[in-house]
Amino acid sequence: MNRQWLLKERPNANVGPEHFEWVETPIPSAGEGEIVVRNLFLSFEPAQRGWLNDVPSYVPPVAIGEVMRSAAVGEVIESNHQDYTVGEYVTGTFGWQDYIATSGEGMFPIAKVNEIRPITYPLHIYGITGMTAYFGMIDIGKPLAGETVVVSGAAGATGSVAGQLAKLKGARVIGIAGGPEKCRWLLEHANFDEAIDYKNESVSDRLKALCANSIDLFFDNVGGQILDDVLTNLSVGARVLLCGGISSGYTANNLPPGPINYMQLVIRRATMQGFLVLDYLDQFPDALEEMHSWVNQGLIHVEEDVIDGLQHAPSTLAGLFEGKNFGKQLLKL
């Protein structure tokens, strides 16, 4: 049977298992021009919570009764498509289920994993996560040697790569993460210069001690109070990049207030910019080639946090908003 998680109801606040329904259906067969993929790993990212809100966004919301959307990597087990053969590994938006029949087209077309190993890497460092870090930090942020760069959500899949990219450009990098273990990992494995534990330290006090009025670039995955704390420590001409806002929980209701200290952008003549990696799809090939080179040389450390079992998919998504994941959050079916 094909085990599936369907969206049962839209969460108003925190997402949890109660918002999904577990069903079992027959394994699909390949129609004309289709393949059947057996999912092996699912990808989890905070943006999935936003897809549950019935509000306009860069992608349509997940519909009630629809298989929960997510990227995945799997094996082709049946093919009526001239471009795919049985036994090949592919990645695409296959959802929270064991099997999917697909033509390979759609909002996010599928791609062959080819010789990439581990096969999970296209779900993060060689996928949307890695490309988000790359284009946000390299193309928009443009860190320079000697500059001070701060990254929030620094032990997550995007933040950890963004910080390492800034180090490759010669910047001094400070990461903000939750808990001593994550902060220790930033220093010992991800090559960050400093780490601030927001769960056990005053972020405001530590920023003043480490980089008062000297933050040249802030790569923000969190928003909320941490964004406000950073705004009071910007250098003149600083750049603030808004990649995510996980502190909001990505809920549709009761959103937190915007930054109180936004006038610091005026005082410091700074800029604040949001971005979406989907605007850079045509530039992925060149960026991936450079990312492959850095990873193969050991210049970027990649961390995966793998949960075992499809039954844990809803709680795994909820765990992202509790800071449970370490690096890229994956689920093995």
Predicted confidence at residue 115, as pLDDT, reads 82
- Between strands 35-44 and 328-332, the pairing is antiparallel
| pLDDT over 80 at 242, yes or no | yes
> 39 near 74, Cβ under 8 Å?
yes
Q: 78-102, pLDDT tens digit by residue?
A: 999 999 999 999 999 999 999 999 9
Model confidence band, residue 251 (pLDDT cutoffs 50, 70, 90): low
Model confidence band, residue 8 (pLDDT cutoffs 50, 70, 90): very high
Q: Model-level pTM?
A: 0.90
| pLDDT over 80 at 107, yes or no | no
| pLDDT over 90 at 253, yes or no | no
Q: Per-residue pLDDT averaged across 275-287, rounded?
A: 93
CA distance 107 to 103: 12
- DSSP helix/strand/coil, 291: helix
HEC states along the chain?
CEEEEEECCCCCCCCCHHHEEEEEECCCCCCCCCEEEEEEEEEECCHHHHCCCCCCCCCCCCCCCCECCCCEEEEEEEECCCCCCCCCEEEECCCCECEEEECCCCCCCCEECCCCCCCCHHHCCCCHHHHHHHHHHHHHHCCCCCCEEEEECCCEHHHHHHHHHHHHCCCEEEEEECCHHHHHHHHHCCCCCEEEECCCCCHHHHHHHHHCCCEEEEEECCCHHHHHHHHCCEEEEEEEEECCCHHHCCCCCCCCCCCCCCCHHHHCCCEEEECCHHHHHHHHHHHHHHHHHHHHCCCCCCCEEEEECHHHHHHHHHHHCCCCCCEEEEEEC
Predicted confidence at residue 328, as pLDDT, reads 93
Q: 115-139, pLDDT tens digit by residue?
A: 888 999 999 999 999 999 999 999 9
Alpha carbons within 13 A on the beta-carbon side of 314:
20
Average pLDDT, the chain: 94
The label of the residue with tokens 């800029």 reads 271
For residue 49, the tally of other CB atoms under 10 A from its CB is 22
Q: 156-167, pLDDT tens digit by residue?
A: 999 999 999 999
Q: Which residue has the higher pLDDT, 23 or 60?
A: 23
Predicted confidence at residue 323, as pLDDT, reads 79
Which DSSP category does 182 fall into?
Answer: H
Predicted confidence at residue 282, as pLDDT, reads 92
Q: 35-71, pLDDT tens digit by residue?
A: 999 999 999 998 899 899 988 777 899 999 999 999 9
What structural domains does the chain harbor?
2-123+303-332 (3.90.180.10), 128-278 (3.40.50.720)
CA distance 123 to 114: 14
For residue 264, the cross-strand partners are none
Predicted confidence at residue 257, as pLDDT, reads 75
CA distance 168 to 145: 9
Predicted confidence at residue 120, as pLDDT, reads 97
Model confidence band, residue 314 (pLDDT cutoffs 50, 70, 90): very high
Predicted confidence at residue 325, as pLDDT, reads 79
> Residues of the chain with pLDDT > 90: what percent?
84
